[in-house]
Amino acid sequence: MLLTLPRVLDEQALYEARKLLAAGRWTGGRHTAGRQSAQVKDNEQLDPMDAGTIKLQQLVLQAMERHLLFFSAALPKKIWPPAFNRYAGGQTYGDHVDQAIRTQAQMRLRSDLSCTLFLSQPDEYEGGELVTRIGQVEHRVKGRAGDAVLYLGHTVHRVEPVTRGERLASFFWIESLVRDPGQRELLFNMDQALTALRSRDGESAEAVALMGTYHHLLRMWSDT
Ligand code: NI
């Protein structure tokens, strides 16, 4: 699965985010990486303790919570506090997989899904594509500022070197109510088809019956 989430941040939110990013305190990015990842990671991250970072995290989390496509695809149970990174001057993050379990203070999360939210416009930098490898195929994404991309937590991925300008992004992990990716995808497809059906035909008896089936499956497969 590789899904684009359009317009997670609107113009106003993006403007706010960019202002906070410009004023932020940046440090080397290796501290959130595991042992394998740290060897291939070269970027900067916002100091997670900074007041500006906490404002940015709230801004991103509120936007994610309002995004219907995100909710439908991820069925989120917990979202890791978003981190913010910056790549410039050839910086890169080579092939790696994200750690399955993240632990911090009182929080523990299984990273069922990874999410990258683009905060620079694609024409502001050269390179910097997010490359995910699914089976034998590599997918290269360079999203518009404010768009996000969602992919399975076990996907091998990298960020290509940024050879001009500056690439700003946020990234975080999601633990889903539904652990199994196949079951989650089935629920997503069913929910999307149902939404289309209801907007075309209104609340028909068939739509209500199918919605009952959706919620029955969700009840069977979810873990709250
Ligand atoms: Ni990663």
Residue 6 pairs in a beta bridge with none
Residues 162-198 pLDDT 10s: 999 999 999 999 999 999 999 999 999 999 999 999 9
For residue 186, the model assigns a pLDDT of 98
Q: Cα(195) to centroid of ligand 1, in Å?
A: 32
Residue type at 93 in one-letter notation? Y
Query: What average pLDDT does range 14-37 have in this prediction?
Result: 87
For residue 156, report the distance from its CA to the centre of ligand 1, in Å: 8
Query: pLDDT tens for residues 52-82?
Result: 999 999 999 999 999 999 999 999 999 999 9
Distance (Å) from CA 96 to ligand 1 centroid = 6
Q: How far is the CA of 116 from the centre of ligand 1 (A)?
A: 9
Instruction: Say which residues have a Cβ less than 8 Å from residue 209's Cβ, sequence separation at least 6.
Output: none
Could you report the per-residue pLDDT of 142-153, keeping only the tens digit for each? 999 999 999 999
Distances (CA, A) of 180 to 14, 129, 137, 149, 160: 33, 28, 22, 19, 30
Q: Which residues surround ligand 1, an ion (CB under 5 A)?
A: 98
- What's the gap in Å between 205 CA and the centre of ligand 1? 44
In terms of DSSP H, where are the helices of 24-94? 35-38, 51-66, 68-74
Distance 210 CA to ligand 1 centre (A): 37
